[in-house]
Structure 1
């Protein structure tokens, strides 16, 4: 049976990564968290003081791109692949609110996007991949057989993100998280290079009031229907 490419785009904190991981595991597909790749580059920029509250040394980051090696290594205990930056596990380090506050700015750099898009396309060239991000269905895989666009209200997304960070022990406030969500929405949708937009042929899913189970059931059905459709047309 032929496999397909599933592109999941959408706003921050809509649960794209969660649903993509579940879907890939169920289908036996490869999962690629592109957002984690941009977060890893952001962490590198922070570690090398290329970005701070007062400055962003974009040219310094661009000149260092060849020194940034991002890989995914599957963790059997966790059931998903963790992100490694230059050989070091940074899965937890890239999920902080501080990284979130800079990632949209770093992701707007054309050279950063070009480098990561090339890697993402290479990862998915043989299909059988579930990839989530901001521009998967519009730039990385414009010919993906199934495109989904996840959305929810800013308040609901901030609520989820606040709980996630609080459960990890991070000292954050709901107000700070909401502000970050709204700022990222603005930066993601207004950037010049590959802004966050819904692909014309993407199916929009507003999960403001969905449980994780309801969301998974809906996305799984859409995926299985598309796989059947593709294989039916081949046969």
Structure 2
């Protein structure tokens, strides 16, 4: 029987109650976003709590995390409590919309790996469909929250597939947020681009900076040096 958890070097993510499990692109996202100088961070749609835990390891920030799904709320609460950073991880078991009504904080960093399929057919699994499809958490709501709650120099980081990332970029300008950097994530050298990691600020750039990273070498087995360096503080195999 496979493990019901994913073991990292400094923490464990129990995930049997969550529809969306730990995945490689989310781990890369948690390892690459700029959080080292942040004093307060928001994780929108925390799920298992993976991203909040990763940025807690990488910073000294106070971290708020919102989650609407009851099973994921329980899982994240347990994962936070069992971590070395339990005193800095604050779970809010409610929707972003409800949290926004009473939020008193400004955030240096807001990050989200949100439900992203805009038009894909749903699977029939309610938990997975909520986690994957924009229904309860719309892009507009993420942008409205970021526009209201980011500090003047704050940054919004998103992990999205390429098509949805392009749509989000176009939408963001309506909220006074502009993409300053894009990291294109490829499955392997010579492979397919599966995700964009986007960074938004309140300042419009002449042209967003673009970089790329491949998770594996062309053999589709060996991790690349760039990926290995980023995940070395987290993965047991490095």
TM-score range, shorter chain: 0.3 to 0.5
Structure (1 or 2) with the greater strand fraction? 2
TM-score normalised according to structure 1 size: 0.36
Structure (1 or 2) with the greater helix fraction? 1
TM-score normalised according to structure 2 size: 0.36
RCO higher in 1 or 2 (8 Å CA, sep ≥ 6)? 1
